[in-house]
Structure 1
Amino acid sequence: MTGFFHETAFYGSDDDFLALVVPFLEDGLRADEAVVVACAEQNTGLVRSALGADVVYLPGADQYSRPSEAISTYRDFFHEHTEAGARQMRVVGDVPHPGTGASWDWWARYEAAVNQAYAEFPVWGLCPYDMRTTPEDVLADVVRTHPNIATALGTHEVNPGFREGLAGTRQVADELERCAPLVDLVDASAGAVREAVGGVLGAIALSEDGAHDVVYAASEIVTNGLTHGVAPVRFRLWADESRVVVAVTDRGPGPSDPLAGLVPTTATRTAGLGLWILHRTCDYVAMGQDSDGFTVRVSVGGQT
C-alpha cells in the first residue's frame, strides 16, 4: 500500500472496539510493520491489555489542544519512520468530538485535511468512533471525510459516503453571541479594527499574550475578508470577564481547501500563513458557512 489509507469504523461496546482494532494491529505486527495506537486513555488501556508492549503508544488527539498541533506532531513521526525505512505504518487513533467534551468544527476539518496532510506517507490509519457517545451530526461528518470503512468482520471497503473537500458541519454561534456585540463594524480597515479592539481589551482579564492574540486575530481575519471575501465584511466582538470571541463574516464562499489554517502555507500572501498562525495561538477557531455567510470565529481566554 502506498500513500495514506484513511479508514473509519463504528462500534457500540468495548468488545466491539477490540474486535475492530486488535486483528488490524496484529496483522501489522505479523508483517513487521510499525504499529501505533494514538487513542484516548480508555481505548489505549483496552489495547494495552490485549496486545501489550509490542505497539507504539502515542498521545491521542485529545491530548492536543489544537488540531494543527496534532497534524504537525504526527507528520513529524511519520516522516521520521519513513526516513528510517518504514514501508508501512498502521495507526489506530480516535478523534475528539462533543461526545468526549471537545468542540467539533476544527476536528471535523482535521478529518478532512489529513487525507492530504498525510498523503505522502505509507500509513494505514483507522479512526474508530464510539456510537454510544458520538452525536449524529458528527457521525455524518465522519462518513463524509473517510474514503474507506472497516467492519468487525474484517472487511475493508470503499466508503460510498465519502466526499472530497470540507466536512458538512455548519457553524455554531458561541454562547457569548447571545448578547449584543461590544464592537460591530462593517467594511472597516484592519487599522480601525485594531483600534476598536484595543479600546475594549482593558476591561477583560486576559494575559498579555492573550490580548496580543485577540488583536492579531482580529486584524488578520478582517484583512483576509477584505482581500479574499465578498463585501460587506462585518466584524463583531463579544467578551465576558475573561474570554473574547471575534467573528468576521463576508458573503463569499470561503476557502474550499480542508488544509486551510491547519498546515502552514505560503500559497497566498496573507490567508494561508495567517490562518495557520490563528490555529496555533487562539484557543478555538471555527470557519465555515452560517446563516449570514462565511464566518471565521475565534475564541481567546477562559474556557471554551
Structure 2
Amino acid sequence: MVEPTSYTATSWRDGTAWLVQISGIDRTARVARLSQVEAAARELVATATRCDAATARVVVELRVSSSVSELLQAAAAARNDADRVSVGSVTLRRGLARQLAAEGFPIRDIATLLRVSYGRAQQLIAGGAGISKSRDREEAAGDSSATPRVPAPRPAAGDVHDSYQHEAFIYRGDDDFLAGMVPFVHDGVALGQPVMVAVKEPRLGQLREGLGADAADVMFFDMSELGANPARIIPAWQQFVDDQAGLGRPVRGVGEPVWAGRRAAEIVECQLHEALLNLAVEPDIPLWLRCPYDASALDTSVLEEAAHSHPTLVDGEAHRLSTSYGGAHHVEAMFGADLPQPQVGDVSSYKFTDVADVRMIVTRHAADAAVDSGRTQDLAAAVTELATNSVRYGGGHGTLRTWREADALVCEVADQGQIKDPLVGRRMPPLTAEGGRGVWLVNQLADLVQLRSTSEGTTVRIRSWL
C-alpha cells in the first residue's frame, strides 16, 4: 500500500458562490459556501482518480485580493491563537469579522474562516456587551501567580448579566441543592432568559418539581447521558449558547458533571472539562453557568480542584473569589500532564501500511472482553481513526497498547505529534480544516476519551466500559 497523493485545490469567489479547481485535473465545481469547498474538491479528485473521496488528501488555497489575503492570514492566526479568552483576542476576532463582512463575505463564510459557529459570527459582527468588564478575567488567566479575579462583579439576584460567569456552587445534600438552584433558575425565567439544566437523576427530577410551573420554560438534560463522555459537554453548551444567546441575549445554565460514584478516570476528565470551559466560552458571552458540587459526598481533593477551575465559589449565601483559580495556565498543566502508566498491556507498533491491522487487533481484544458487536465496531473505528491520524500527522508511525481493567477495555494510541489546542475534538471543525475531525469523531464513538499532549508526543486513551 502506498501513501495517498496530496492534491491542491484552488478556490475563488464567483459572485456569492465559490469555484473550486484541482491543480492538474481539468475539472471545476461550484459551491454556495466556503465550508463546502473541501468536500467538493475531494469529490473532484475521487471522480478523476477513482479513489475514495473520504481518504483523498486535499489542501485548499484561496485566491483572493491582496487586502483580503491579509485579512485571511490574520484570521488564520486568530484561529490558532491559544489565548482565545483574552480581551485582545476577542477584539481582534470582532474586527476581522466586521472587515470580512465589509468585503462582502457572508456570515457563514466568516464563521468558517474564524472557526466559530454561525451564531458566534453573528455576535462578533453585531458587537457584544461586557468586553471591558472582562479584563480582570484575562489577567487572572494570564498570570497564575497573581490573585485571580472574576471578569466582572457578580450580578445580584434579579440582575441582568452581560459577560461570562462561571461559578462552583458548593452544597450539602438535596435540600441545600434545591435552596441554591431553584432561586437561580427562577430568576432566569423571570427575566426571560433561556435556561438549560444538565444534572443527574434524581436531582434532575427534584429540581423540575421544585420549579413548579417554571419548569416548562427550562431545557432539562440528564448529565449521566449528556456527559457520559465529558468531552461531549462543551459542544452541548456551545449549541445552547448559539441557539439562545444571539446578539448578546443573556442565558443561564446549571451543569453538574462531577458526582459521587463516578469512575476515577471520568472525574479526571470532568475536571479537565471544567477548566476548558474557561477557554471555550469567550468573556463577552453572557452565559451565567453554575456548577454544583456536593461537599457531603465528594472527596476534599475534588472540591479543591473545583476552586482551580472556577473563578467564583458560591457556598450557601456566601460568594467569594477563588484565590486558587488557575485560568489558562491550569489548562496547560492538565493537558500537558502524562496519563498514569498501566502495569500491563499488549503493545504493538504501526505505520501507514499497518492501519488495517490496528482494527483487527482491537476487534480481537474486544471479542475476548465480551464487548457486544455494535460497541466493538465503534471502538475499532475510533482507534483506527486515531492510528490514521498518527501516520498522517504524528510522524508516520505510532504505538498501540491494549489492556483490561476491572470495568473497562482500554486502548491507547501514542505518537510523536503534538497538539497545541486543548479544545481539539470539542468543537466541530469546518470542512476547510485539513485535520481535526478525527478526535471529534472519536469523542462521539467512545465511552471515555483521555487526550494529553506534551513536548514528547501525544497520547489518546479510550475506554470501553464492560
What is the match of residue 275 of structure 1?
A: 439
What is the match of residue 258 of structure 1?
A: 422
Aligned letter for 1:104? I
What is the match of residue 18 of structure 1?
A: 178
| Greater percentage in helix | 2
Which of 265, 268, 272 is the matching residue for 1:109? 272
| Closer, same or farther: CA 223–47 of 1 in aligned 2, 3 Å | same
CA contact (8 A) 1:206 1:243 kept: no
Between the aligned partners of 1:101 and 1:226, the Cα distance in structure 2 is: 32
What is the match of residue 339 of structure 2?
A: 171
What secondary structure does 1:279 align onto?
Answer: helix
What is the match of residue 94 of structure 2?
A: none
1:217 aligns with 2:382: yes
Between the aligned partners of 1:104 and 1:167, the Cα distance in structure 2 is: 17
Between the aligned partners of 1:17 and 1:200, the Cα distance in structure 2 is: 43
What is the match of residue 80 of structure 2?
A: none
1:59 aligns with 2:234: no
Q: Which has the larger radius of gyration?
A: 2
Between the aligned partners of 1:93 and 1:54, the Cα distance in structure 2 is: 18
CA contact (8 A) 2:415 2:457 kept: yes
CA contact (8 A) 1:6 1:125 kept: yes
Between the aligned partners of 1:90 and 1:110, the Cα distance in structure 2 is: 18
Give me the CA root mean square deviation.
3.6
What secondary structure does 1:235 align onto?
Answer: strand
Between the aligned partners of 1:51 and 1:214, the Cα distance in structure 2 is: 40
Which of 118, 124, 135 is the matching residue for 2:288? 124
Between the aligned partners of 2:395 and 2:306, the Cα distance in structure 1 is: 30
What is the match of residue 92 of structure 1?
A: 254
What is the match of residue 143 of structure 1?
A: 307
Which deviates more from structure 2 when the two are superposed, residues 202-211 or residues 56-65? 202-211
Between the aligned partners of 2:236 and 2:448, the Cα distance in structure 1 is: 19
Q: Which runs of 5+ in 1 are unaligned?
A: none
Which of 400, 414, 428 is the matching residue for 1:249? 414
Q: Which runs of 5+ in 2 are unaligned?
A: 1-160
CA contact (8 A) 1:194 1:215 kept: no
What is the match of residue 39 of structure 1?
A: 199
Shift of 1:74: 3.6
More contact order relative to length (CA 8 Å, sep ≥ 6):
1
Shift of 1:276: 0.7
Aligned letter for 2:174? D
Which of 195, 205, 209 is the matching residue for 2:357? 195
| Closer, same or farther: CA 41–211 of 1 in aligned 2, 3 Å | closer
What secondary structure does 2:276 align onto?
Answer: helix
CA contact (8 A) 2:359 2:384 kept: no
| Closer, same or farther: CA 227–193 of 1 in aligned 2, 3 Å | closer
| Closer, same or farther: CA 200–287 of 1 in aligned 2, 3 Å | closer
| Closer, same or farther: CA 75–232 of 1 in aligned 2, 3 Å | closer
Between the aligned partners of 1:36 and 1:49, the Cα distance in structure 2 is: 15
